[in-house]
Amino acid sequence: MTFVDFAPNEQKDDAIAACRLLFQPWRWRRGKETTNLKRRLKSRFFSPDTQISLFFSARGALYQYLKTLHLPPESVVLIQAITSVTTVVPILANNLTPVYVDINETDFSMDIRDLEKKYSKNAKVLILQHTCGITPVDRKKILAFAKTKKLKVIEDITQGFDPELFKNKRFTSLALMSFNRNSAFSSVFGGMLAIRGIRNNTMIKEVEKNIPNPSIWLLLQMLFYKIGSVIIKKTYSIFIGKLIHFAAKQLNIFPVHISKKERKGEFDPTYLKTFPNLSAQLLLKQLDRFNDVSSKRTKSVVYYNDHLGIPHKHSAAPLGAYPVITKQYNPFQSSFRSVVDPAEDPFIFGYQQGTCPIAEKIIPHLIKLPTLLQKKEREFILKQINRENNLSI
């Protein structure tokens, strides 16, 4: 029960599918499933005129999109504080300058007032992050501001999203989605760009066709993760799972989510690959149960709203995680180390101390509670939090 947030999406049928694919290497790189996946993603989450491009990682997708813009060196990309190194590294790799915007304490996303202060004529791109899958409270104002300043907008929904948000034809920005191990649905690695209009997507489509495939070893690691994570979860309480998890880390059997290069602010070409057919097959399996996953996540959000007694409640939606602010450290403390997670020194990523005071203030106290849980798991987490009695009320 103490391992509730490890590989939350993985279930028995994922492991069985991975076992079968392990002995079908001819289906790993090419096949009809990739085309089927694009069709399903578009019909389920976007308008009919949206173009879908798939990459091996969201960071690779972001890198390629920024590259196609051909921006002058040191052009500014506006991003929020409390973000991931995987968002910042593609910016730096394109010789662009990240400028960090402070956040709201209610939704932990970009604050329109600080955005207006941080904007300059060198700003060309704005990345609007949906933290933990929460639709930013200032979203409409931010999109309107970006339109007046002629900024390219990327809506970063890698942490989760409202499934109905982008079906509206008034959506004019670009959506960046992730299929990593903690996303709404997972192929272990994967990323997607959703762009409205064929003209806007021409260069990205060319890039998508011409980048190389991931290595065979990396594809094997993904399959090992799908199989091993289910075994670990099933046997964790009897110590066997702990032992397997430790051994997998030591032997490098599971793929690394963030590499040593990226932690140092360097772009890692390992993740700059095409989206293999293997990933499409793994993802289609999880899309089949998306409604059930969304229902569980929404129930967890409602449960936390009803029982935590905090002032800022979140909308009843399938959030990727439930963020709350605590008074002190507790067993569910997230891995946040700084405003650029998980970097110990955000200066490497272009962040200047003191420029985002709200984000800096809450970083030591911000936790993300898991949402893809059963009722007993939610109750267990609530007991642990009540025992610590450290939520900011």
pLDDT in tens, 69-112: 999 998 999 999 999 999 999 999 999 999 999 999 889 999 99
Helix axis angle for 277-287 and 216-235, nearest 10°, is 30
| pLDDT confidence of residue 336 | 67
**Strand runs (DSSP E) across the chain, as ranges?**
50-55, 76-80, 83-84, 97-101, 123-129, 152-156, 174-178, 191-196, 321-325, 340-341, 366-370
Q: Compute how many other C-beta atoms are within 10 angstroms of the C-beta atom of residue 105.
A: 15
Q: Which amino acid is at 85?
A: V
| pLDDT confidence of residue 2 | 45
Residue 214 has pLDDT above 60, yes or no: yes
Total residue length of the chain? 393
Strand, helix or coil for residue 123: strand
Question: What domains, with CATH codes, occur in the chain?
Answer: 13-210 (3.40.640.10)
Between CA 263 and CA 324 the distance in angstroms is: 26
Residue 168 has pLDDT above 80, yes or no: no
Continuous H helices in 149-289: 198-210, 216-235, 240-250, 260-263, 277-287
Lowest-pLDDT choice from 21-30, 243-252, 319-328, 330-339: 330-339
- Going by C-alpha positions, the residue among 221, 174, 234, 154 that lies closest to residue 50 is 174
- Going by C-alpha positions, the residue among 156, 222, 172 that lies closest to residue 49 is 172
| pLDDT confidence of residue 210 | 86
- Secondary structure (DSSP) of 294-344: HHHHHHHHHHHHHHS--SSPPPSS--SEEEEEBSS--TTB-S--SSEET-S
Q: Where does the pLDDT of residue 332 fall: very low under 50, low under 70, confident under 90, or very high at 90 and above? A: low
